Amino acid sequence: MTPYDDIAPRPPLVDGFGRTVTYLRLSVTDRCDLRCVYCMAEHMTFLPKAEVLTLEELDRIASAFVSLGTRKLRLTGGEPLVRKGMMGLVRNLSRHLASGALDELTLTTNGTRLAEFAPELAAAGVRRINVSLDTKKPDLFRRLTRGGDLSKVLAGIAAAKAAGLSVKINTVALKDDNAAELPELIAWAHGEGLDLTLIETMPLGEIEADRTDQYLSLAQVRGELESFWTLDDLPLSTGGPARYVRVAETGGRLGFITPLSHNFCEACNRVRLTCTGVLHTCLGQEDATDLRAVLRAGASDAELVAAIRGAIDLKPKGHDFEIARAQPAVTRHMSTTGG
């Protein structure tokens, strides 16, 4: 029997500010086949295998969250599709879709391996994915990712669409690299039937670059887009950071994630588990609960649930991002935290 299959739903997870946690972002690996300049150091030291949760441990923690009212699971990395056995984990977790306990199982990917895995993802019940893509210029893509091949990502997106997956593009706005290209990228995505969300750079982890050089306020971007497009605000809210508009001229949906120019914490419904089993209840704070230690000490199901509840009780009111600060708000890289 797999974990938590025989356990009735428990009272939901509610933090100290009355926010109900219904969304878990689960990092399955810190490894990635790209080295994006704003995400990783060029020469990353990846974690030893023993420090990373096994697939069984990932399943047990995710299933505990489902038993506590989590309705959405997003698998992240690093790049989740580089994890050996990843599709076995997806298929196992899909039992919660079949039971009705889970509304959505999805993932965020860089797209390089989507051509291989898109049909399997669709067969396992995944209906929607996010693909990170900051440019459609092959040379710029190669430089931003330190060697990546844009054609693999575009082929992956095409394969995902062919498999019936809904695809959303995530684009980090970079002042010196893709600012001028953003309207073209948005128009391309909408022309392909894809939503696109713009993201401000976030001060996570030590990297070689100075993020203040690349920071681009999305309030400024929106103002520029409104000089030639009609942006109609949408009431859509996922409990997350994005604010959405409909672009009248393209018919597509555009999101803005603005952790620096607009605080989005008041309705936060999500938490993150790193691939090492550390639960972070806020992306922009150094709060941490070590669930790996709990599991490997032989915790019962009740003890694991108690540890999760204790962490949620301490969920901070909001993040602590400030782009101009000399040091990052948190020292961990996004590739370690989970996208």
Q: What is the pLDDT of residues 153-211, one digit of tens each?
A: 999 999 999 999 999 999 999 999 999 999 999 999 999 999 999 999 865 545 455 55
Low-confidence ranges of the chain (pLDDT < 70): 1-9, 202-212, 237-240, 260-266, 284-285, 318-339
pLDDT at site 242: 84
Query: What are the DSSP E strand ranges found in 202-299?
Result: 231-233, 242-247, 253-257, 270-273, 278-280, 289-290
Domains of the chain: 13-337 (3.20.20.70)
Residues 257, 241: contact at Cβ < 8 Å?
Answer: yes
Q: What is the pTM of this model?
A: 0.88
Number of neighbours of residue 241 by Cβ within 10 angstroms: 22
pLDDT at site 206: 52
pLDDT at site 89: 98
271, amino acid identity: V
pLDDT at site 339: 54
pLDDT at site 237: 67
pLDDT at site 214: 80
Q: Give CA–CA dist 17/317, Å, rounded.
A: 7
Q: Give CA–CA dist 63/119, Å, rounded.
A: 24
Residue listed under structure tokens 């990228």:
185
How many angstroms from the chain centroid is the CA of residue 105? 12
67: Cβ–Cβ under 8 A, 6 or more apart, which residues?
Answer: 4, 7, 9, 10, 101, 305
Q: By three-state DSSP, how is residue 71 classified?
A: coil
DSSP assignment of 23-53: EEEEE--S--S---TTTS-SS--PPPGGGSP
pLDDT at site 236: 74
